[in-house]
A and B are shown apart, each in its own frame.
Chain A
């Protein structure tokens, strides 16, 4: 009885199995490791497993793990899905698979060298020439571009799945810039944090040796010429589907994350545009596809690459991993000839079979395909051509005829693969363990004259029963992949000799990241100041309704107009045609909070802040990400407010929440961010925005004299806006006095929200930024801040409150603040000129021979 209860999960799962499953061996017995896994799951209990699964999802979200999904009007970042049940492979079986994968990598590397070299494969008729000359991955300008090392295929990703015969089959090759290894690493990190007990009774191999070997190989590419090689990780940008991984791996490996226009080819070398000037780049790890790498010699419309890169590679001045041109190996037609290539190069048979593939360019195969379409999946040989794989069995007779006609038009463009049943593996779906189809992407990296296989990989399982839609794009789910054995000895950690490196004390900040950090600071503060203001405004509105009377609402009008000035959402409350807006202000406030389309609204500032944050993903630590994630959660609500959000109390609450979360972000940044140029630019951006917005509010409230009872209310509001009301009361008790207030918020250098303090701080931050050579002691930005600071400090506050009797205008106050405002605004432009220069757009053109003269013979 007891044993039965103990096995209930396993029993239930066994009943669900419809085809062959990973947990069963050839004799239909449960494999020992799966037995252990089920025992552990049993102990844990389903309820707990579901809880942990939710924790996994939360943890991944907190860590900012996303996968961008294309298709909808805007790119939306989808949280990464991780199944709590890992994919288990026993080490002895894995060793055999790894041997087969290494052999594949060897053959592909030799093929790559041959295709961009002697082309014996063609000359000896091992490969049909169509698979090279009609292969859009074959890039003629890459013919003489080589890496200075033994292996040309440095990293290799390969999709494998278990076929009906119980063997692992190779399904597809990724040779340009294989994605997923970073997600595999993150999956492992999160799994070991949330579900450590699942490893009970087994030892799981580590992933880190793979990355260490990768780093070792990459460093070796730089030769011994440089003590501190600069290695950059080239991403297409934050819109890319796997951008998270680019930022994640760059920071894991310690490389600088860059985009194409952060780099420039000059004097034969590749340079990184950093705020310290140009810095020589030794190795580029690219996540940009082959033909986008160099608009001069490859796709001329590419904005993702670096013009002149191929020439720099030819001269050996920079190494790019994998070398552009490697995509030639991704052609599906080649899968049909892997066996032949293996025999040709290695004089041996393939260890792992490929999924049965027929290339239609040969008569015999073509006929076979036409006769057997219902059992086959039809694809284009060239991956890049937009053509969704066709499942033969799903076609009507007419559609089948149409497809055959299409294939007969140019047979060499088509490939057919057998539709095989793949194995299923336990997955947690809706609180139940059920079998789902799964496939594994394995990763290899060159290791001297050999390859090293990652001890694990990225398993993806299908979201839907019986369907094989594992790609994340289609809603598939990922799994951690465990290579398991029982003894520690069996997996004695491979010691990797790392090249001796002295510590490099300087890390460069690309100009683009610098600019983004600056704007993150500005948008953060814009959101912060606006929420703070709306909070005090709604508070004032509430008070006037509850405790005041209509005649005392003049200060409200001024504050409402102040909101329009602050957010630059004109005409807003200044609209003379809609005077009733002032009496019923919530509709407008609603827009200023929630409407994404209005520039200056809380929603749009928060969005700009978040976008900026993502584009410098590699700058934030784990705790900062958690704060960012919480801001993002609030943003989601602000972006799509439901009925309840129209209530002023709810508005108040949500502003409060956003404000508090931004403060948390500020706090973590202030407490943990390294004091480098990036930090100082972030802080400068924040302060510039703060000074501008605080000035805007002071001007809106006091440029014109109001009745003293109105002015008292405004003084209180402005003090709150500067976080100074309590402090003020301690000094002046309840005596609200404009001169005293201005004295405090202008001049008191001990108060973080006084103008004097902020201007001093801004000056200090600017002095910490790198100084271009041969310039004056103070740059334009520093001079402007110094000037602004002096203007404030020399201000005679008693003069400031004077107003013109007939107009009530406070000319001294207003013109001083206007001058300071313009000076600080000019700092923004000066910084742009000094550190960020991205205003140029790249143009490619071919000259043409059109001007043939008319008198042609």
Chain B
């Protein structure tokens, strides 16, 4: 599939802002199953300079700052992406327990994966989360299937509710209230896996949504999306989407990998202002 991606973020400030610094993590990755043909970042008011670099995790980030007084800021990222059919690897029959043993005892693997096995800024767990994890991932279960079960359980038992949670909502609250959005479900799934000594990371990207049958697709109705990636011996990193209870396919487009949301936030900013602001985001994933 080929997609045109338009991700537009705008901030409206109540008071004039004189200084703004930002880090943007919006460029789709070049991967085995995905090619980013072009990427263009347009910012209004226009900054003097946009600096691109690769971060610690190999994601592309852009830094810019604005020093003219402004009341509205628009960051628009437009990219053309080819998403190729994902090759289904042979499913490993390694069990949860065996995987754990391999990860913690193979020192080379451990050095590579440890940061995805420990707590991170948005990922921590307690006995309840571990218990929730164990309901799908008993030691003798095949890991791949266990992760599928976990995703299915989250999909079934949790309600997708926008604006009920924020990025600062603790995972245990999400578990208790059984609702949230994709990043909450991804964080919960990651916490579950790490609580059992497994390695899991956060995937930030987009998903093409389909309009209800018989209706026109609305503009800006797509969304940035988040799902997870789990390390499975013999297979490597495998992706799962707990929000949609599916294995990500061509309609999933990847922008970044990290330990959790904090490593890959699409837009981070620091402003100097005396008032509040309003944020609006619109995303279009248009197949071409």
Contacts and interface: CB of A to CB of B under 8 A. Distances in A.
B114 A308 contact: no
Interface string B266-286: 111111111001010100000
A130 B118 CA distance: 9
Contacts of A847: 9, 265-269, 279, 281
25 contacts: A130-B114, A140-B263, A144-B53, A267-B49, A267-B67, A307-B270, A308-B63, A839-B274, A841-B274, A842-B271, A843-B272, A845-B269, A846-B267, A847-B267, A847-B281, A848-B183, A849-B182, A849-B224, A849-B281, A850-B165, A853-B209, A853-B221, A855-B209, A856-B223, A857-B244
Interface of B: 9, 18-19, 21-23, 48-49, 51, 53, 55-57, 63, 65, 67, 107-108, 110-111, 114-115, 118-119, 160, 162-163, 165-167, 181-183, 204, 207, 209-212, 218, 221-226, 243-244, 261-263, 265-274, 277, 279, 281
A467 interface: no
A125 interface: yes
A580 to B, nearest CB: 46
A581 interface: no
Nearest to B51: A311
Contacts of A853: 209, 218, 221-223
B166 A848 contact: yes
Contact of A851 (B162, B268, B269, B272): B162
B19 A264 contact: yes
Interface SS majority for chain B: mixed
A265 B56 CA distance: 22
A122 B181 CA distance: 37
> Size range of the interface on A?
35 or more
A819 to B, nearest CB: 31
A123 B107 CA distance: 9
A849 B118 CA distance: 24
A330 to B, nearest CB: 19
Nearest to B15: A840
Given A844-B270, A847-B281, A296 B23 contact: yes
Contact of B56 (A141, A268, A296): A141
Contacts of B107: 125
Interface string A297-326: 100100000011001001100000000000
A851 B281 contact: yes
Contacts of B119: 134
B53 A314 contact: yes
Contact of A840 (B160, B162, B221, B273): B273
Given A840-B274, A841-B273, A852 B21 contact: no
Contacts of A267: 48-49, 67
B69 to A, nearest CB: 11
A293 to B, nearest CB: 13
B184 to A, nearest CB: 10
Contacts of A345: none
Looking at A265, A314, A839, A857, the one whose CB has the most chain B CB atoms below 10 A away is: A857
Contacts of B48: 267
B65 A851 contact: no
Contact of B115 (A133, A308, A315): A133
Contacts of A140: 55-57, 263
B111 A265 contact: no
Contact of B49 (A123, A134, A268, A840): A268
Nearest to A315: B51
B270 A848 contact: no
A854 B162 contact: yes
Given A850-B166, A855-B211, A855-B212, A266 B67 contact: yes
Contact of A856 (B209, B266, B273, B277): B209
A311 B270 contact: no
A295 B211 contact: no
Given A133-B118, A856-B244, A849 B162 contact: no
Nearest to A311: B63
A702 to B, nearest CB: 42
A129 interface: yes
